[in-house]
Structure 1
Amino acid sequence: MVAAAASPETDPDHRDTTPGKSPKIRAILAGGLVLGVGAAITLAAWNDSEFAQGTFTAGAFNLEGSTDGTAFGENPVSDPATLGFTAAPANLAPGDVVTAPFAVRLDGTTTNDATVTVSTEASTGALTGLTYSLTQSTDFGCAEPVTGTLVAAGQALGTTPGSVTFALTQGAGTADGDAVNLCFRITADDGLVQSQSGTTTWEFAAQSQ
């Protein structure tokens, strides 16, 4: 029996030797690789950023005091203003009343309104038989009309009741604020001790609002 000749389609050893066919296949594969690289490049991402900043500047705040209603300045605890009483408080007798005006304001550099709290900072010596009151007035001076009472008459000298406060407003632009005019009124009663001597210092503590 003669074996049938293998068909070109079924012969595993058959190789297509048609000129130019293999180079064409390689060219198509190469082209596919090139297209693949191109697709990867188009996946690159864009990046961008935004930034913001702020500038922060503190305001200014300064309280001044005056014993004459005209000249205002600093009066620290180490060098407090000396009140100018209408009569010499160095020779008091029972029934005497002496007064002294004082004013406070915010200076022209101040950028906030304020609440001022009044307290007794310190007292020395003997103050027996002495009481006081503290009032506000329309203008500077204890003879001016009273607009408010901060400390009622009869308060023992050297003490201050709680929550004694008043408001101060800053000036417009670089102008000084309006002054608050005050009056201390000291009264000697029958309990005054002969030859005693004492000193009291009040604090006006301003807090910005």
Structure 2
Amino acid sequence: MVTRREMREKRRLRSRRIRALLAGGLVLGVGAAATLAAWNDSEYGAATFTAGRFDIVGAADGATFSSHATTGTASTLTFQLPPTAMAPGTTTYALLSVKTANPSVAGTLQFTAGTPGGTGLAAHLTYGVRTIAGTACNATTYAAGTSVVTDGSALTAGGASTQAVSANGAAQVNYCIAVTLPTTALNAAQGLTMTQTWHIQGTSS
């Protein structure tokens, strides 16, 4: 015959076994969750960079462009009147066109003047520069142009403004240079000579 005390002991033992099994199951569950593998993915971006270049070229005829990077290789401008034909009150015109090479980035141009040479005629001359729509540089197109160097300036004066120049030679800037021997020129100007080199400074943008 089983006593009540023995029955209570059996119940306690059974309860302990159940709790032990449950505890084991919880521990097993935690261990299983900890061993699950995590999924992952990656994304990358890469680029290669190459520097562009800025290069301008010039032409005295508005069509045949090449590089004239130094004073020694300056393009020879063709004025309407030959150097020996200057007389008081006359103005002679010459074209100087500039554009970017292809390839080249866009930029701006600054018209500057060098120091005149010769035997002293520069002191008696004045000049002006305007940008014109086409390549015909004469009194008519000059009058309709946009001022770069003010008329009547000394040969040492440069332009106060800059001109935009398109990338890859897409458009050219046509400078019309007008050199004048004023009507007030003294007799001492006769027989004198002048040489001048103009400089177009290009800057990338």
The TM-score, its normalising length taken from structure 2, stands at: 0.70
Unaligned runs of 5+ in 1: 1-48
User: Is 1:196 equivalent to 2:189 in the alignment?
Assistant: no
Out of 178, 183, 187, the position equivalent to 1:185 is 178
Unaligned runs of 5+ in 2: 1-41
User: Is 1:151 equivalent to 2:149 in the alignment?
Assistant: yes
Deviation at 1:139, TM superposition (A): 0.4
In structure 2, what is the equivalent of residue 87 of structure 1? 81
In structure 2, what is the equivalent of residue 136 of structure 1? 131
Q: Deviations over 1:97-155 (max 9, x none)?
A: 1111111111221133x110111133223212100010111100213632311111100
In structure 2, what is the equivalent of residue 11 of structure 1? none
In structure 2, what is the equivalent of residue 46 of structure 1? none
Deviation at 1:82, TM superposition (A): 0.9
Bigger radius of gyration: 1
Deviation at 1:160, TM superposition (A): 2.0
Q: CA-atom RMSD, angstroms? A: 3.4
Out of 148, 161, 164, the position equivalent to 2:161 is 164
Q: Is the 8 A contact 2:105 2:166 kept in 1?
A: no
* Paired residue secondary structure (1:87): coil
CA distance in 2, matches of 1:206, 1:54: 30
Q: Report 1:43-122 matches (<5 A).
A: 54-77=47-70, 78-112=72-106, 114-122=107-115
The number of residues matched between the two structures is 181
CA distance in 2, matches of 1:179, 1:104: 6
Task: Return the letter of the residue paired with 1:131.
Answer: T
Q: Report 1:9-28 matches (<5 A).
A: none
Deviation at 1:56, TM superposition (A): 1.9
Percent identity (aligned): 27
Deviation at 1:61, TM superposition (A): 1.6
Task: Return the letter of the residue paired with 1:147.
Answer: G
Q: Is the 8 A contact 1:134 1:152 kept in 2?
A: yes
Deviation at 1:50, TM superposition (A): 8.4
CA distance in 2, matches of 1:133, 1:111: 29
Q: Is the 8 A contact 1:64 1:106 kept in 2?
A: yes
**Distance change (3 Å), C-alpha of 1:100 and 1:153:** same
Deviation at 1:91, TM superposition (A): 3.5
* Paired residue secondary structure (2:84): coil
